[in-house]
């Protein structure tokens, strides 16, 4: 049964957190360091790190990233297809597409073919109480 969220359960980001969200989901920001991201979001590093510790903020960010990815998956598949068919060396992309189409799957052989025996020799003690 689907749960209905109460108004008090819905996380509402602050204005600074909204700017951080926008920077975090912007693909052009993926290669930026934290200082550059803070500048782009117009927030201090302290605000950035405090925000990144908030569980509700992280949940919202992850949901936005997944929604963004789902919206772009067609582009990803098309790029994979283009790369897979453009050069004979691109076997990884062909493998991905074949797996997605259900035409290929890795086979794992998990059977043990040999018995492994480990023998441990007990130390012997001589007449003087020394280990030989």
HSE (CB half, 13 Å, CA atoms) of 17?
A: 16
Of the pLDDT bands very low, low, confident and very high (cuts 50, 70, 90), residue 1 is: very low
31 contacts: CB under 8 Å, gap ≥ 6:
none
Residue 8 has pLDDT above 60, yes or no: no
Question: Which phi-psi region, left, alpha or beta, contains residue 123 (left: φ > 0; alpha: ψ -120 to 50)?
Answer: beta
> For the segment 73-116, what is each residue's pLDDT rounded down to a tens digit?
888 888 888 888 888 787 888 888 888 888 888 776 666 666 66
pLDDT tens per residue, range 28-75: 999 999 999 999 999 999 999 999 999 999 999 999 999 988 888 888
* Confidence at residue 75, expressed as pLDDT on a 0 to 100 scale: 87
């Amino acid at each position: 049964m689907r749960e209905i969220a109460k108004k008090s359960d819905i996380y509402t980001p602050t204005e600074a957190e909204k700017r951080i969200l926008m920077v975090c989901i912007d693909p052009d920001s993926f290669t930026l360091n934290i200082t550059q991201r803070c500048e782009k979001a117009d927030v201090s590093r302290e605000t950035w790190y405090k925000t990144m510790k908030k569980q509700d903020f992280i949940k919202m960010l992850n949901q936005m990233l997944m929604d963004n990815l789902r919206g772009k998956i067609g582009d990803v598949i098309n790029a994979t297809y283009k790369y897979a068919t453009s050069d004979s060396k691109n076997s990884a992309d062909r493998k991905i597409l074949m797996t997605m189409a259900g035409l290929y799957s890795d086979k794992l052989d998990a059977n043990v073919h040999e018995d492994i025996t480990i023998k441990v020799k007990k130390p012997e003690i001589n007449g003087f109480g020394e280990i030989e």
